[in-house]
A = this chain, B = another copy of it.
Amino acid sequence: MSQAKGLVVLAYSGGLDTSCILVWLKEQGYDVIAYLANIGQEEDFEKARMKALSLGAKKVYIEDLRREFVEEFIWPAVQAGALYEDRYLLGTSLARPCIAQKQMEIALREEAQFVSHGATGKGNDQIRFELTYYALSPQIQIIAPWRMPEFYTRFRGRSDLMEYAKDHGIPVPVTPSNPWSMDENLMHISYEGGILENPKNHPPSAIYKKTRDPATAPDCPDTLEIEFKKGVPVKVTNKKDGAVYHTSLELFIYLNEIAGKHGVGRIDIVENRFIGMKSRGIYETPAGTLLHRAHLDLEAFTADREVRNIKRGLATRFAELVYNGFWFSPEGEFIRHCIDHSQDLVEGKVQLSVLKGNVYILGRESRQSLYNEELVSMDVQGSYEPTDATGFININSLRLKEYHRLPSKVRLAQN
């Protein structure tokens, strides 16, 4: 029988927090549907399903969103060459709208009045989830326990959750928790909080899960050829062993494997959250880092200078809006459309080697490139008239000469 307060679709992770939230929501009088997205994290999904059901979930949805995540969220970010604040490849930011979109689909299908999530009240994820909810279904109601005083004053720390878990038959983790929190998906793992909050503390070398330590990574590189069409990878070939991957998900997983093996994609940064505070994060983004470099190389090779300049301005905005949770927004749609259009000619092959934490571009080729070997050659005059450059320089100097003429301008001659 349905409970009085209505039906909630909860973004469930299988962990302690959302398990407690599930039980707490029922305690508050809601029916709860648990929804667990598979976006490539390491997880025993069946165990999580059983756990949710045992905690009283009315139904459990486990959705494999990996291909969708790669093709609809990661690929546009690769096309954009998106970097938040010059460094962060947006691994978590891209996953949130993907997860929340499916959650809204379920909520609509199940005619739920509520959705809920376990994101905290200081972070970006709450915003990314909820802006997606509202954008896709403005009438939805959101239950965000970590922002509700009745919840967060009751659960002031992990020990409160542990105790509540014990009291309510929620299985508790047997291993002690790491002194930091972590979030994983196909694109990256982020580590933050706890001992990492002191920005001076060096990250423990054992923290990393997705990449090997570059210091102990193989001494011998892998050499890959990545083929792009319209700014996204369509084929990966390992020149060493001849392995070939064609489909989006497969090739992305393979690139994660290779890049991870060689320790590619670790960063330790302080970034600015949307709410205006600075936070420190450690990220591992193996395939994402590799693809960012390869795409950048091919784009610079094929695209017109001015088109790329304009597109770069758009990409900066894109990264910012994705970080801030505006994937589903008028500007998000608009920018993705423009960036996609800028990629029409970004096709060709990039060869690169992967070694000791690094990606080295070795060469590139494309039938669409604006690179003209003959034009640039030091040995070929061709149709290029060097005297034209004289005119070009003289005209460009006009403005500078005029500026020098100003009475207020200090002249070198007067030094």
Contacts and interface: CB of A to CB of B under 8 A. Distances in A.
Interface of A: 81, 85-87, 101, 104-105, 108, 120-122, 126-127, 130-131, 134-138, 144, 146-147, 149, 152, 157, 181, 193-194, 197-203, 214-215, 219, 221, 266-272, 275-280, 296-297, 300-301, 304-314, 316-317, 321, 325-326, 328-331, 334-335, 337-338, 341-342, 344-345, 351, 355-358, 360-365, 367-373, 375-379, 381, 384-408, 412-413, 415
26 contacts: A85-B300, A121-B386, A121-B389, A122-B378, A127-B392, A130-B393, A131-B397, A134-B397, A134-B401, A147-B387, A147-B390, A197-B377, A199-B364, A268-B361, A270-B297, A272-B300, A278-B369, A304-B331, A312-B316, A344-B408, A356-B358, A358-B358, A370-B406, A388-B394, A391-B395, A392-B394
A363 B392 CA distance: 32
Q: How many copies does the complex hold?
A: 4
A321 B81 CA distance: 23
Contacts of A278: 301, 305, 369-372, 376
A412 B105 contact: yes
A284 B195 CA distance: 36
A335 to B, nearest CB: 7
A387 B398 CA distance: 14
A315 B25 CA distance: 49
A138 to B, nearest CB: 4
